[in-house]
Chains A and B, each alone.
Chain A
Amino acid sequence: AQKVTQAQTEISVVEKEDVTLDCVYETRDTTYYLFWYKQPPSGELVFLIRRNSFDEQNEISGRYSWNFQKSTSSFNFTITASQVVDSAVYFCALSEITEGGIKGGSEKLVFGKGTKLTVNP
């Protein structure tokens, strides 16, 4: 079965520091998708990025960047020049094909346990 491991339970940094959140996954699928979601203190899950298994190009969006390495089954997330508003729990997730269903399989997200990031002023 699919598995996502976020080894860092909690990280604390000072504002303006760079921080990298690690994500390691296990899957037998040849085609799969990886995701990052942010859960701020308000509780809502905010979508950050989706990356398919065929695209290993790194992606940058403002202060956020993602490094996908198939060889090490990792999809790490870096925040550059962190800010207090970045404080949240960050979840890495992996798509998993579910078997069965009424008209065949479907897909679901398998989440890691999350990394709680605290950015101190």
Chain B
Amino acid sequence: DSGVTQTPKHLITATGQRVTLRCSPRSGDLSVYWYQQSLDQGLQFLIQYYNGEERAKGNILERFSAQQFPDLHSELNLSSLELGDSALYFCASSPGLAITSDTQYFGPGTRLTVL
């Protein structure tokens, strides 16, 4: 158990809908990272927050957004969902800002299925 929690574990929805994925980092970790794992693209970095502020953006679509709240939990919002958004979404956390000094520990993931 990494200490990172994600809810829900599974999510099934329809095209055009909007969903919110939630992540609670390990106790004391200030950084939260979101990754998407799909069959065709593999594991891709989406976005990072550090202590409530957006820190880095990767291949995140404009239909997707995220935020980190004062209690450090984070939410990833996916809107206008398309079939291709079906994937496993991981959240990871680390104590500080740079992965070269910290290790990212991953949550169990949320499996999103868009029908």
Contact = CB atoms under 8 A, between A and B. Distances in A.
Interface of A: 31-33, 35, 37, 42-47, 50, 52, 91, 93, 95, 98, 100-103, 105-114
A80 B25 CA distance: 33
Q: How large is the interface on B (under 10, 10 to 19, 20 to 34, 35 or more residues)?
A: 20 to 34
Contacts of B105: 47
A52 B103 CA distance: 12
Contacts of A91: 43
Please name the 5 residue pairs, one residue from A and one from B, whose CB atoms are nearest each other, closest first. Answer: A45-B106, A106-B56, A111-B43, A108-B45, A98-B56
Contact of B53 (A37, A102, A109, A113): A102
Contacts of A106: 48, 50, 55-56, 97-98
A102 B55 contact: yes
Interface of A is mostly: strand
A93 B43 CA distance: 10
Interface of B: 2, 33, 35, 42-45, 48, 50, 53-58, 88, 90, 92, 97-100, 103-109, 111
A95 B99 contact: yes
Contact of A101 (B2, B33, B55, B104): B55
27 contacts: A31-B100, A32-B100, A33-B100, A42-B108, A43-B88, A45-B90, A45-B92, A47-B2, A47-B104, A47-B105, A98-B56, A100-B56, A101-B54, A101-B56, A101-B57, A103-B55, A106-B56, A106-B97, A106-B98, A107-B56, A107-B97, A107-B100, A108-B48, A108-B56, A109-B99, A111-B42, A111-B44
Given A101-B56, A102-B54, A109 B104 contact: yes
A18 B32 CA distance: 36
A104 to B, nearest CB: 9
Given A108-B45, A108-B56, A113-B42, A44 B106 contact: yes
A44 B54 contact: no
A5 B108 CA distance: 24
Contacts of A42: 108
A112 to B, nearest CB: 8
A47 B48 CA distance: 18
